[in-house]
Amino acid sequence: MATSAREDTVSSAAYAVGGAALILGLLLAFAWLPRLLHARESEQVGKAAPAIRVPVVFNGEALAQPPNVKATSIGVDELKGHAVILDFWATWCGPCKAEAPILDRVATRFKSSGLVVIGISQDDDRDEGAAWAKAHRLSYPIAFDSDRSASRAYDVEALPTLIVISKSGKVIARRTGVTDGDELERLVNQAL
């Protein structure tokens, strides 16, 4: 069964239109995704930080435990009076691993000002985040969100997600994706 040149042209045109529609759809989705994420980011800003308690799996290499942190768990409500950064991350997340050294520098720089940085691992195994943090000599503690209750409390849907909490216990910023050092320092100064 032979096809005519006209049928081949129509078939090629249909594929081209379908491909163009797919590409246009993807471009629109990526164009709107940041707006949707930003809208979600602003929902919690200005409100009291949800109270969560997560088990500590790694206490940090270079720094002593943050103030008011028990050896086995961390509760956000116990950290009022300190600026807090919650870093929701996982070892399988490339951008999360890229952001870790930035957080580590900020944690070290602002520790004496009362900043507490807590990495909250979203890995499936509680030891994965601890092992990675130890191998990379992170100075801040790593907690494990075993039942994803912390993630649900802060509506975390993408990694990395940073939650910045002021000394008074209010969420002042939420960032999804890698946050650069300058922006992170600006947010910390605002939280202090």
Would you state the pLDDT for residue 63?
Answer: 46
The residue ranking higher by pLDDT, 72 or 179, is: 179
48-61 pLDDT, tens per residue? 999 999 998 888 76
Q: Rounded to the nearest 5 degrees, what angle is found at the Cα of 100, between the Cα atoms of 57 and 125?
A: 35
Evaluated on CA atoms 70, 76, 79, 82, the torsion sign reads positive
Asked whether the predicted pLDDT for residue 137 surpasses 60, the reply is yes
Report H helices in the chain.
Answer: 5-44, 94-110, 126-135, 149-153, 181-191
Give the pTM: 0.76
What superfamily does domain 45-191 belong to in CATH?
Glutaredoxin (3.40.30.10)
Length, in residues, of the chain? 192
Query: How many angstroms separate the CA atoms of 81 and 137, rounded?
Result: 27
CA 123 to chain centre: 13
Residue spans of the domains in the chain: they are 1-40, 45-191
